[in-house]
């Protein structure tokens, strides 16, 4: 059984989020998702997510193709999470291209970057709704 892992904030869950999860699940038999903690999101983006960690965790966990969800506390812990969840493949959107290649030699886990779904993003959505 092939186990896949992916990570994200998944704030204001949208179609691009659904597609990365569905496409990752097509590459494996069991999908584990690391949802960023509020603190990790703040350190990456300089703002708090619109939805709290608990809300984002529940939304991602309710998606049919997602088998398991956990809290991602730091980007640097990727190799530990991969070992903990016995992941065979790490999938991220291509805005992260090259950023997590370092886990392959440490864990043997394959690393893939899939094209982002065009146009949609949480930031763009929030800006459009605001204006």
DSSP-derived pairing of the beta strands 30-36 and 68-72:
parallel
Report the C-alpha gap between 74 and 11 in whole angstroms. 17
Under rule CB under 6 A, residue 88 binds ligand C2G = no
Under rule CB under 6 A, residue 126 binds ligand C2G = no
Q: What residues numbered 37-66 form the site for ligand C2G, per CB under 6 A?
A: none
Under rule CB under 6 A, residue 103 binds ligand C2G = no
C-beta of 24: minimal distance to ligand C2G in Å? 9
Interacting stretch for ligand C2G, rule CB under 6 A, among 25-33, 58-66, 80-88, 116-124? 116-124
Q: Which of 66, 83, 65, 75 is nearest to 32 (CA)?
A: 66
Report the C-alpha gap between 93 and 83 in whole angstroms. 21
Under rule CB under 6 A, residue 36 binds ligand C2G = yes
Interacting stretch for ligand C2G, rule CB under 6 A, among 7-15, 63-71, 80-88, 103-111? 7-15
Q: Which residues contact 52 (CB under 8 A, 6 or more apart)?
A: 38
Q: Cα dihedral sign for 31, 122, 100, 111?
A: positive
C-beta of 30: minimal distance to ligand C2G in Å? 18
Under rule CB under 6 A, residue 33 binds ligand C2G = no
10 Å Cβ neighbour count for 53? 19
The two three-digit tokens of residue 121, written as one number = 């993003």
The residues binding ligand C2G (CB under 6 A) are 7-10, 16-17, 20, 36, 72, 75, 92-93, 95, 116-117, 120-121
């Amino acid at each position: 059984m092939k186990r896949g892992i992916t990570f994200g904030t998944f704030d204001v869950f949208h179609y691009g989020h659904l597609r990365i999860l569905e496409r990752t699940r097509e590459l494996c038999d069991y999908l584990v998702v690391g949802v960023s903690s509020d603190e990790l999101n703040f350190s990456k983006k300089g703002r708090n997510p619109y939805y709290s960690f608990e809300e984002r965790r529940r939304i991602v966990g309710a998606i049919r193709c997602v088998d398991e969800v956990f809290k991602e506390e730091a980007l640097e812990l990727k190799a530990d999470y991969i070992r903990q969840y016995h992941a065979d493949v790490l999938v991220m959107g291509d805005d992260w291209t090259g950023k997590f290649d370092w886990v392959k030699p440490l864990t043997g886990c394959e690393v893939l970057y899939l094209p982002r779904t065009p146009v949609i993003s949480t930031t763009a959505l929030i800006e459009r709704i605001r204006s």
